[in-house]
Amino acid sequence: MTLPDKEAYYYDLLNIKYNFTGRVDAWTANTFIKEASQLIVNAIKLFEMGYFDCAFYSLRQSLEVSTTMVYLVDIDEEKRQQELSKWKSEGQFPMHAKMLKFLKDKGETFRDFREKLNGYFEQLDAVKSKLNKHVHKQGFDKFYVARNHPVNRDESRERFIDEFRRNVESCIGAIAVFRLALDPFPILLNDEEMYHRTGDMIPESYTDEFIDKYIGIDHIENYKNTEIYQAHFAYFAEMEKKKDCVSNVVKHQYINLEELDEILEQKHLLSESDLKAVLICESSEKIAKVYALGGLLQYFTNRKSSRTKMSWDSRDFDACSKSEPPLNIPYDEAFISCFVFGEQEYFLEHNETLSGEEIKKIETIT
């Protein structure tokens, strides 16, 4: 069987899979998010191969992995380490239903979370019940020998594909919702006011289309009444709102030099490396990019680089920094130079060699 729009599902799963939480105490949860997402990819593959019972089981596993993730985060630190140790060692660890009961009754965040999104979780419970029917093969339509019989094979095919598709979408939505029990940033950053009041975040926002398709606008409005969302909203509401051009520098390392004056009006909202990169690019029209932290931060500008490659190699930076002097080194079709401010090296990608006057100007940046 072929599942229509499966590529769209794969793409939408990336909206969750790489939407890491930045919580230090919940860093393990990121692996659970990736695993739950992979289980849905596996389910789609299994379904298309014809192993439909295994596919439904994999969908159910994605819900169970998501629940385990929240359970291991939404308890006090001491108990969390004990339960994580049990889970890793395959010790006496609670089953899915018991975890849900604990979270519903005693979860520090999930209890409020479940109460505010009661309608959503009632729908999810119905989905889990249907998945269990397939996993436990309740009904002849769950048997291979019945579904593949010539009498039934074509008649129910489209309905069966549609049922599986709806279950896939419900499980994608469930992972996205359970992810919100860790922190509210995928929804908070969807609010433009909040987006421009936050810094360079690890998580990214769920898109409006993603929310509408997999979760539901009404459910998200209910989520905004949870304590975890309200607390984060109140905190960031006190922050100064950044201009678009400043947010582009902070969040995307993009410097539009045509908006340089506006950027510098809010230079107090830039990190040290952000501000250095802006001032470096201001110093010469030859500079197209700035690399900081060994290339982990790449600042782009609206100036086109003569270098056609988009990739970089840290060995090129090492060679440049060890050159005497580390200036105007050929770098494919462009040039690279290294400047040190404090203990931090900045590598400049420029289209022409820097003059002595330009080099002195850059060296005096503070």
At 79-119, the pLDDT tens digits run 877 887 887 777 778 887 888 888 888 888 888 988 999 99
- Tokens found for residue 197: 């009041």
The pLDDT-based confidence of 356 (bands split at 50, 70, 90) is: very high
User: What are the two backbone dihedrals, phi and then psi, of residue 121, each rounded to the nearest 5 degrees?
Assistant: -70, -25
User: pLDDT tens across 282-292, in order?
Assistant: 999 999 999 99
Q: What is the length of the chain?
A: 366
- Are 137 and 143 within 8 A, CB to CB? yes
The pTM score is 0.85
Mean pLDDT for all residues in the chain:
90
**b/e map of 233-244 (b: 16 or more CB within 10 Å)?**
beebeeeebbee
